[in-house]
Amino acid sequence: EAGVTQSPTHLIKTRGQQATLRCSPISGHTSVYWYQQALGLGLQFLLWYDEGEERNRGNFPPRFSGRQFPNYSSELNVNALELEDSALYLCASSLGTGLKNTEAFFGQGTRLTVV
């Protein structure tokens, strides 16, 4: 069974440009989470999508946005890129919401570099 896949693996953009990152969850998983992993800051929660809806977002400006498609894959868009947006962006998927928490499986991440 394929795990969570992310593309591209590396992305270099110029300040002010837009970046689009993609994530395909494990088959059967309906929830997708996006995290930013900047050096020394751990995993910062960005966005959570479930069943096509944005369920929650972390403490990030509105230029970070995304969506989830009917096949549960997801896109993260970052507009007006700033140098400090350079980080590893990790996507994770799980079986979805409910009273019983379920394990989140991570993708390999997209390394975004803003120059």
Partner 1 sequence: GENVEQHPSTLSVQEGDSAVIKCTYSDSASNYFPWYKQELGKRPQLIIDIRSNVGEKKDQRIAVTLNKTAKHFSLHITETQPEDSAVYFCAASKGGSYIPTFGRGTSLIVHP
Interaction of residue 100 with partner 1, rule CB under 8 A: yes
CB of 108 to partner 1, least distance (A): 5
Tell which positions 28-87 bind partner 1, by CB under 8 A.
31, 33, 35, 40-45, 48, 55-56
Find, among 81, 52, 80, 82, the residue nearest to 66 by Cα.
Answer: 52
Interaction of residue 2 with partner 1, rule CB under 8 A: no
CB of 79 to partner 1, least distance (A): 23
| Amino acid residing at 50 | D
Beta-carbon count within 10 A of 27 CB: 10
Distance from C-alpha of 73 to C-alpha of 22, rounded to nearest angstrom: 8
Query: Between 20 and 37, whose beta carbon lies closer to partner 1?
Result: 37
